[in-house]
Amino acid sequence: MRSGKGAGDATTATPRLTRSVTGVFCFRDMCFLCGEMVAGYSDVQKVLSGGEFDKKFKDVILERGWDEWALDVQERMDSVSDLFAADAEYHKNC
């Protein structure tokens, strides 16, 4: 529900706090691909753009035919609006 009219035009960064209840997964600390911590790894890549990256990834998941790994990753992606907004990171080798 939106409140009133004309009041809020300074919405630069509306934090979309959808419920992040998917276990204890933390996008900022963990590789969203394998679920392991990113701390201590030198080859860590941040997700640098929104929608497109997500789309590309959903294709990968489809191609894999929804195996266990794909379902895990999909679940993580579904728990946020997009990976970029979630500050997602991953190991380059993953």
**Binding stretches for Zn ion (CB under 5 A):** 31, 33-34, 91, 94
Work out how close the CB of 83 gets to Zn ion at its nearest, in angstroms, rounded to a whole number: 14
Residue 31 vs 88, nearer CB to Zn ion:
31
Work out how close the CB of 8 gets to Zn ion at its nearest, in angstroms, rounded to a whole number: 38
Residue 34 vs 70, nearer CB to Zn ion:
34
Residue 58 vs 91, nearer CB to Zn ion:
91
Classify burial at 73, counting beta carbons within 10 Å of its beta carbon; exposed 0-12, middle 13-18, buried 19 or more: buried
Q: Where are the extended beta strands (E) located within 27-78?
A: 44-46
Contact call for residues 53 and 8 (beta carbons, < 8 A): no
Give dist(CA 37, CA 30) in Å, integer.
Answer: 4
Residue closest to Zn ion when measured from CB atoms: 31
Work out how close the CB of 45 gets to Zn ion at its nearest, in angstroms, rounded to a whole number: 10
For residue 42, what is the DSSP state? S
